[in-house]
Amino acid sequence: MMGKSEKDKMDAIRDKVQHLITIVNELEQDFPERHFTLDGHLVGSIGEVLAKYHYGIDLAKESNKLFDGKTPDGREVQIKITQQDYIVISGKPECLLVMYLTHSGEVYEVFNGPGDIAWKCASKNPDSHNNYHMSVNKLMKLDAEVALNERIAMVEGRDIEKMRKEYKNKK
């Protein structure tokens, strides 16, 4: 059996991208306060609407530099979701909520607490875009230091399981 031709591969890309665009349009109809563009906003917006559902976060207008929303008790929270071994952040937030998205679509809580605790594991120097990197493994360890009263409470009945190393996506 012969492999796909380059034209077949390009046709498949077009078809798959069209399917993604259909999904994006459906997501934007369901959540009109967020854009799910395929240029990097998709995963972030997914994380934000998950945070709204699971934690009752009141989402801010998009493109806010240091926070994505407010907790029910009024604290500003930066929401991050990743499928990789790290997150990227531009500065120390008041509260940080980090989630992990597996390739199978499962979501886990990596870190939930004050930004100053999480900031301990930020890279010492910003990258070329003035962002700091934080390791998922380090955030998981620091999460154990967060007192219950410092966490963003989950909406009753909408719990997210804590992240474990064995849940990480295989490369």
Residue 17 included in any domain:
no
Q: What is the DSSP code string of 80-110?
A: EEESSSEEEESS--SEEEEEEE-TTS-EEEE
Residue 78 included in any domain:
yes
The parts of the chain modelled with pLDDT lower than 70 are 1-2, 39-40
Residue 166 included in any domain:
no
Q: What is the pLDDT of residues 97-141, one digit of tens each?
A: 999 998 888 899 999 999 999 998 999 999 999 999 999 999 999
Amino acid at residue number 15? D
Residue 114: its H or E element: strand 107-114
Residue 169 included in any domain:
no
* Non-local CB neighbours of 106 within 8 Å, separated by 6+ positions: 167
Residue 148 included in any domain:
yes
Residue 167 included in any domain:
no
Domain of residue 136: give its range: 37-155
Question: How, if at all, do strands 107-114 and 95-101 pair?
Answer: antiparallel
Return the C-alpha torsion angle 85, 89, 92, 93, nearest 10: -100
